[in-house]
Amino acid sequence: MGAIFRVNVIEVDDLINTIKTIKKHKFGIMATSLETQKSIYDIDFKKKAIIIGNEANGVSEELIEISDERAKIPMIGKTESLNASVATGIILYEYVRRKLQ
């Protein structure tokens, strides 16, 4: 509770341009996608921006194309996708877990 007061939230009108600017500052871009064999456990999260798509459509093709890499959350069974907030929580947990090692 109250994390919203400690997390920097930035809203932009032009996401593509913003991603290009982030890349100019030497950040890598990872997009979530089911169209990859790479898992979030294969990603080096150092200096990385993460794009998470919605449950219905995922990340847009335009954002996938300008991303440096794609990754998915491995799942057992027939589940294809997760709620975007749940997926974000899992990915950020993995990011923090590695920082604590």
Q: Which domains are delineated in the chain?
A: 14-99 (3.40.1280.10)
* Mean pLDDT computed over 7-17: 89
Helix, strand, coil percent values for the chain (each to nearest 5): 40, 15, 45
Q: Which residue has the higher pLDDT, 7 or 15?
A: 15
CA distance 20 to 67: 9
At 1, the pLDDT band (50, 70, 90 cuts) reads low
Quick one: pLDDT at residue 59?
A: 95
Nearest to 45 by CA among 94, 87, 79: 94
Contacts of 30 (CB under 8 A, 6+ apart): 43, 45, 48, 49, 50, 51, 67, 68, 69, 70, 71
Overall average pLDDT of the 70-92 stretch:
89
Rounded mean pLDDT, 21-32: 96
pLDDT tens across 39-80, in order?
999 999 999 999 999 888 899 999 999 999 999 999 988 877
Q: What is the mean pLDDT of residues 85-95?
A: 93
Q: Mean pLDDT over all residues of the chain? A: 91
With residue 28 as reference, give the H or E element that holds it: strand 28-32
Number of other CB atoms surrounding residue 58 within 10 Å: 19
pLDDT class of 86 with cuts at 50, 70, 90: very high
